[in-house]
Amino acid sequence: MHRRRRTALALTAATLVAAPLLTACGSEAHPGAAAVVGGDRIDVATVQAQAADVRTAQQDSERSVDLVTKSGQLTRVKLSGLIFGRVLDRAAKDAGVSVSRKEVQQIRSAAAEQSGGDEGVKTLMLEQRWVAPGQIEASLRQEVQLQKLAQALGADLQNPVGVQAVGESLTKASKALHIEVNPRYGSWDNKKVQLSTYKAPWITQVTPVQGQEPEAGA
């Protein structure tokens, strides 16, 4: 895989039960919302459904007990990823960046070549990123999107200065979206572009076939 494709998202945080109300500005509340991003809701049900898909895939794995044990923070991981995806969409739009389905298929094919086929990709995405089979396309789309954003900014994601430049772009987009998070999930950190309860960096050097498992965290 090309060097620039070796940068992917690794979103980790802590586990959480379903939250009741999200208090936004003033006394306005958003029943059933896990977050509101740019005025659009991310429902608790959506977060739970994503987490449930991962749990189902984990249960079918030969490493099910180990995978479930290490992914106790799954609910927040999924919420953080959903919010980050919208921030990335905004930053990419501001930079004039778009991603085609062909580009996503290309990176998936490259990953399959390195991991012994598409089943290998599914296994490693599940084990390393807590991504269910049906979520792979969206995850890889974000990877391509992030790389193209860096290119549009003239930034090298292999260089700390480049990472900082992309981070500043994401922070700007994050602030513009006025993100509100249900207090039970924590709060959103615009500077780190992640949930406040998520201690890992917003970006880490991993690939679909050679990376690190998300940390369990505190």
pLDDT tens for 75-123 read 999 999 999 999 999 999 999 999 999 999 999 999 999 998 999 999 9
pLDDT band with cut points at 50, 70 and 90 for residue 198:
low
Q: Smallest Cα–Cα separation from 121: which of 59, 129, 143?
A: 129
Note the pTM of the prediction, 2 decimals: 0.77
Q: Smallest Cα–Cα separation from 61: which of 2, 123, 145?
A: 123
pLDDT band with cut points at 50, 70 and 90 for residue 217:
very low
